[in-house]
A and B are shown apart, each in its own frame.
Chain A
Amino acid sequence: MIETEGLTKFYGPLAAIRDVSFQVQKGEVVGFLGPNGAGKSTTMRILTCYMPPTTGAARIDGLDCFEQSLQVRRKVGYLPENVPLYVDLTVSRFLRFAAGAKGVESKEHLREVQRVIAVCGLEKVAHRIIGHLSKGYKQRVGLAQALLGNPSVLILDEPTIGLDPTQIIEIRRLIQDLREKHTVLLSSHILPEVAQICQRVMIINKGQIIATDSPENLTHQLQKSAQIVLEVASRGSELAASLRSLDGVQSVSAGDDGGNRLLVETDRSHELRPVLARLVVEQGMDLLELKVRDLSLEDIFMQLVTEETAEGAQEESES
């Protein structure tokens, strides 16, 4: 559905993205994850035909974003970053304009506008001037205009930024409802959010995609060592000492509550939980908790981004 090949964009001498290639299948919800300035918006702007790439190609539904721009634009609903809106129009007037501009049949205008107003919960503010609305409502108006004309692809640039927690949950729920009918590509720098909404995550840093997979797989693959949390009722430091001598344990660090909660870092190849449990019991201690700690997406992200930076620094110093 969405397809890019070797997408590169230079702003003057500065490369915003470099050789970005990915594919999004029909009906997928894909998250674009990366720190600010990583090239998320640039990629999205190329996909929505706002600007052409310097080199490479982007296709939506088999149509080239540069050569067949108008046809592509008809298939894409776009929520730009910071949600630019015509602030001097009322919500319904703006949506009627957008419906016309997006080529919705004029007979269908009213029905289509009413549909997106209902989907985005804008009934109460339909006749208010956009400039007077709160940030959350503006965001919803932005989403509503993207949904007009029922485009098969939705590209949402930071759809939840600047919203309060309740609004974020509402928008998330909205996006989850959309996945049945649309292919969604959304960007964010908030990790748990992406993990919740998306089936697949692409992590982009400094203009390059550094990882792409489902949130679970990413966590799984990138975990070079397994971390096991172990909590006993007492004598934690004593246990820590004996744990260190175990085969396959890389390190043991004590948690903050008096040394009874331990974080054991182990080799992935060994399943150490039974061994640990037995050891604790043999030593006559009370085992309170024993579990594998999954790396959160946040950890992975930090790991990837910092690894990259370290490698980059190394390369630079070598050359």
Chain B
Amino acid sequence: MKGFSPVYRKELYSLFASPVFYVVAFTFLVISGYFFYTAVAFFNFQSFEASQNPMLAKQMNVSDMIIRPFLMDMSIVLLLISPLLTMRLYAEERKTGTIELLLTYPISDTATILAKFLAAATALAVILIGTFPGILLLATFSQPSWETILCGYLGIFLLGSAFLSLGVFTSSVTQNQIIAAVLSFGALLMFWVIGWTKNLVGPAAGNLVDYLSIIKHFDSFAKGVLDSRDFIYYLLFMLLCLFLTLRQMESYRWRG
């Protein structure tokens, strides 16, 4: 993996030096802050009602009523912003011609792809860490289950990384960043809604589309359930996308 770390550091620098990252992070944090606020406010409202209703009081649960909806809301915002984090990775290099430098330096394509992907994943982690203050605030006023929270954040990081891996691939097929972002967004949305047809396409295909659904696997993480199947789904998704990118770069070389 020689050559991985210089490319990784350069990509990180380019990411954090570009205004795109800050605009994306700002938007994400404002919107998810709003979602967090509404989840907490709704919980408060319910708590007042629960004080008169013992049946309802038994169902009041911070994990289910704040953490889980908050994570689900964040996943939607991630769907919208993650194509913006990855769109420049290859498209810009192709546009400016710097890809010629990158491909003639003694770095394997695998190392380059991993470096670019992990740089984007690092940016994602930084953005997600930006939501921690809300969680810490929540922890000072109530006793949320830390296991659920960690599991949920692991899930959203995996989900986001899967989004990014697909973005890396679409960025490698074009030299236009907008096309890369739109393709990635479209494909991700398709993976998001593909499970909706599970009752329409017959039992075998139904299971398949249900398994392919990218958001279904997140649900168990959000509930605080760590299931190896979901873990493996995201890993396979990322591996497939990065493998496709590798093949795409090879084909790019041959076409010249």
Residues of A within 8 A of B (CB): 9, 11, 42, 45, 48-52, 70-71, 73-74, 76, 78, 80, 82, 84-89, 93, 96-103, 145
Contact = CB atoms under 8 A, between A and B. Distances in A.
B104 interface: yes
A169 B7 CA distance: 34
Contact of B256 (A42, A87, A145): A42
Closest 9 CB pairs of A and B: A100-B6, A84-B97, A73-B106, A101-B105, A51-B256, A74-B106, A80-B100, A48-B104, A84-B98
B253 interface: yes
B5 A88 contact: no
B3 interface: yes
B6 A84 contact: no
Contacts of B2: 103
Given A86-B10, A88-B14, A49 B104 contact: yes
Contacts of A97: 6-7, 9-10
Contact of B108 (A50, A70, A98): A70
B97 to A, nearest CB: 3
Contacts of A48: 104
Contacts, number: 79
A51 B98 contact: no
Nearest to A47: B104
Interface string B10-25: 1001100110000000
A80 B101 contact: yes
Interface of B: 2-3, 5-7, 9-10, 13-14, 17-18, 96-108, 253-256
Given A101-B105, A103-B2, A103-B106, A84 B256 contact: no
B118 to A, nearest CB: 16
B154 to A, nearest CB: 31
Nearest to A85: B98
A101 B100 contact: no
B101 A84 contact: yes
A49 B14 CA distance: 26
B97 A101 contact: no
Nearest to B98: A84
A131 B185 CA distance: 30
B253 A51 contact: yes
Contact of A84 (B96, B106, B254): B96
A49 B99 CA distance: 12
A70 B1 CA distance: 12
A86 B98 contact: yes
B106 A89 contact: no
11 contacts: A11-B256, A52-B254, A78-B104, A80-B101, A84-B98, A89-B14, A97-B7, A97-B9, A98-B101, A98-B105, A103-B3
A51 B6 contact: no
Contacts of A98: 101, 105
A108 B6 CA distance: 14
Contacts of A76: 104
B98 to A, nearest CB: 4
B100 A87 contact: no
Nearest to A129: B17
A9 B255 CA distance: 10
Contacts of A49: 103-104
Given A50-B104, A100-B5, A80 B14 contact: no
A130 to B, nearest CB: 11
A9 B13 CA distance: 37
